[in-house]
Structure 1
Amino acid sequence: MKKLCVILMGICALSLATLAQAEADPKLWAVVKEAFFPKRDIQEVDFLKIDAPRRAESGAQVPVTLTYDKAAANGVVIKKLYVIVDANPIQLASTYHLTDQLNGFQMATRIRQETDSFVRLIGETADGKLYMAKREIRAAGGCGGTVDNNEAEVRAAAGKIKMNVAAPDMGQPATVTFNIKHVMRTGLQRDLVSQGYVPAFYINKTTFTYNGKELMTVDVGVGTSEDPYMKFSFIPDAPGKLEVVATDNEGKRFTHSVDVSS
C-alpha cells in the first residue's frame, strides 16, 4: 500500500508538471508503467495502432481508432487491450477482452483527456507478453470542470441504447455501431452551484454476444466520453442475434439486441 501511494503521488506530481508545460510529457510513462505493469517488458510494435487527430477539438470527446492487425502480428494473439492516457488523473480509460470471433480488432470510440498526453494501446497475450503502440494527442479539460445537469433527466435517460449492424454477407466482417446514453461522470467534476465534487456515475462494463457466444467484453472507465460510442466488426457465421448487456457503477443493467441476417 505504501509503495502504491508513492507511485500515485509521483503520477500526480508529474501530471501537474505536464499541465504547466501544456504538452505531452514522455517522462510520465515510467511512473504509469510501474503502477500498471511493474517489472514487465513492453515491446513497441506495428501491428497495434492508434489513429487520432494531432489536436482534438474537445478534451471531453477525443475520437480514436484502435487497431490490432492480427494478420500482421506473425502469430501473436492478443487477448486483452488496455487504453491508457498517461496524463489523465485516472489513466486507464478502458480494457477490451477479445475473442476469436472478432478476427483481429478495430474499434472507433471516444475518450476523455484532461491535458496533452501520450495515449497508449497495450496488448496482452494469454501468456502475459505485452506489446504497445502510442500516439501523442493534444487536448484539454475532459475530466474535470463543472456540471449543471438536471438530475432527474440524467437518470431517466441513462442506459438508452442504439445499436445496428450493417447487413453482412455471412462469413464476412459485419460492422456494429453501438451508442449508450450516459453522462459518464468522472468523480472529478464539481457542481456548478455548491462547488462540491459530483460523485462518479458511469457505465463500467459492456458485453457483446452473438447467438449466445461472447464476442467482446469491455471494462469501461471514466476516461471514456459521455454517451459511450463504439464501432467495431465481427464475423457472423450464420444469421442470428447480436446482444449487448451494459452495467453501471451503481449496479443498474441495460440490454439491447438486434437481429442479423444477410
Structure 2
Amino acid sequence: MLATKLAPLAFGLVLAAAGAALAAGPSDTDAEREARWRDVAASIFKDRTIQPTETLVKVEAPKRAEDAALVPITLTMPEKDKVQAVHLVIDDNPSPYAAHFRFGPAADPSELRLRVRVNSYTNVHAVAETKDGALYEATKFVKASGGCSAPMGMSDEEAMKGMGEMRMKFAGEAQAGKPVEATLMIRHPNFSGMQMNQITRDYTPARYVNKITVDTGNRNVFVMDGDISIASNPVINFAFLPAGPVKVTATDNQGGRWEHSFTAPSASN
C-alpha cells in the first residue's frame, strides 16, 4: 500500500516527490539520490536556487541508526544572526518534508536537536533560509530502514494516553542577555499512518503533531511545522532569550490542540 494513501504530505508537498522516494534503495547511486533530491527540492522550494554551504547550516546524524524510528538529528547554524528559518528534509521518506522551523526575535538558532523517523537509506538535507531570502543546504547520509512503519510496541489506546502533556527542562543558570538551553517534551504518538495495529492488523490512521509554537513573554521563539517523519513523543532541544514565561502551543492534524506554560529561568542578581 502506498504510504501517500496512508498519510497526507505536509505543507502541500506534491505526491510526485513521495512517489520518487518510494523507489529508493540502499544500492542507489549518488546520481540517483541527487536526482531525487532535485525533484523533492523543486516540490518544496519551486524554482528557488539552493546553494551548498559549510558555514550557514550543518546537519549531524548517525551514519547508521540504532533505531530507525528514533534517529537523533542536530542542526547547527554557526552564523545564527543571518538565519530566519531552517527546513529539514529526509529525501527518501514517504513524506520527505520533515520539519520547518521559523525563528522569532527571542530565538537563538545556533543549534536545534530533534528525533526523526528514517524509512530507508537516505540523504538528510538541512536548508537554511537567510534573512534576505537565500537558501543554503547541507547534507548527511543516514543508513536506516523501516522507521516510518515501525510499530509503537503498545496498543494505540496506550500510546495515546496523556496525549498533549508537556514538560520542559532548562540547562544551566540564566545570565542576563545570554541564551538559555531548553528541552521540550510533548507526549503524542505521532502515528505515521503506516503502522499496523498488532491486534486488529489494520493500519492506524495518521495522527501527528503538525505545528508547535513557542513564545516567551510576548516574543516568539519559533514556530515548527511538522509531519509524519517526526518521531513519537517529540523532543526538541533549542536555545532562547528569556523574556517572561514560556508558552507552548501544539496542534495535530486531527484537530487536537494543547497549551502549557512554564516558568523561565531568570538571571540572579
With structure 2 as the length reference, what TM-score do the two structures score?
0.84
Which residue pairs with 2:164 in the alignment? 159
Residue of structure 2 equivalent to 1:247: 251
- Tell me the equivalent position of 1:197: 203
Mapped pair 1:83 → 2:88: yes
Partner of 2:47: 39
Once the two structures are superposed, the pairs formed by residues 124-203 of structure 1 within 5 Å of their partners are: 124-146=129-151, 149-166=154-171, 167-203=173-209
Cα deviation code 1:224-262 (max 9, x no counterpart): 0011001111123x5x21121111122222222222222
Contact 2:21/2:94 (CA < 8 Å) preserved in 1?
no
Whole-angstrom CA distance in 1 between matches of 2:191 and 2:117: 11
Distance between the aligned counterparts of 2:251 and 2:62, measured in 1? 30
User: What is the correspondence of 1:106-117 to structure 2 with a 5 Å cutoff?
Assistant: 106-117=111-122
Shift of 1:28: 1.6
Cα deviations across residues 4-36 of structure 1 (Å, max 9, x unaligned)?
xxx7346524532x2262787333212212221
Q: RMSD over aligned Cα, in angstroms?
A: 2.2
| Secondary structure of 2:106's aligned partner | helix
Distance 1:92 1:10, change over 3 A: closer
Kept in 2: contact 1:112–1:142 (CA 8 A): yes
Identity %: 29
Name the CA distance, whole Å, in 2 between partners of 1:14 and 1:94: 17
Letter in 1 for 2:239: S
Residues 148, 258 of structure 1: alpha-carbon distance in 2 compared, 3 angstrom cutoff: closer
Cα pair 2:65 2:143 within 8 Å, conserved: yes
CA drift of 1:105 comes to 2.9
Residue identity matched to 2:22 = S
Aligned counterparts of 2:201 and 2:218: Cα–Cα separation in 1: 46
1:206 aligns with 212
Q: Deviations over 1:58-90 (max 9, x none)?
A: 11000011112226xxx7x22221100010000
Q: Is the 8 A contact 1:182 1:203 kept in 2?
A: yes
Match of 1:49 among 33, 52, 58: 58
Q: Deviations over 1:178-237 (max 9, x none)?
A: 11111110112222244332210111111111112111111121110011001111123x
- 1:34 partner letter: A
Query: For the structure 1 residues 62 and 85, does the alpha-carbon distance in structure 2 shift closer, same or farther, using more than 3 Å as the test?
Result: same
The alignment of Structure 1 onto Structure 2 pairs a total of residues equal to 249
Preserved contact between residue 26 and residue 121 of structure 2 (Cα < 8 Å): no
Provide the secondary structure at the position in 1 that maps to 2:245.
strand
**2-side partners of 1:45 and 1:193: how far apart?**
48
Residues 11, 184 of structure 1: alpha-carbon distance in 2 compared, 3 angstrom cutoff = closer
Structure 1 residue 227 corresponds to structure 2 residue 233: yes
Give the TM-score normalised by the residue count of structure 1.
0.86
What one-letter code is carried by the residue in structure 2 that aligns with 1:178?
L
* C-alpha contact 1:11 1:31 (8 A) present in aligned 2: no
Query: Taking structure 1 as reference, are residues 116 and 19 closer, same or farther at Cα in structure 2, changes over 3 Å only?
Result: same
Cα distance, 1:235–1:28 mapped onto 2, change above 3 Å: same
Aligned counterpart, 2:105: 100
Pick from 53, 71, 96: which aligns with 1:62? 71
Q: Any stretches of 5+ residues in structure 2 without a counterpart?
A: 1-13
In the alignment, the residues of structure 2 paired with residue 155 and residue 56 of structure 1 have an alpha-carbon distance, to the nearest angstrom, of 26
Aligned to 1:256: 260
The code of the aligned residue for 1:26 comes to: E
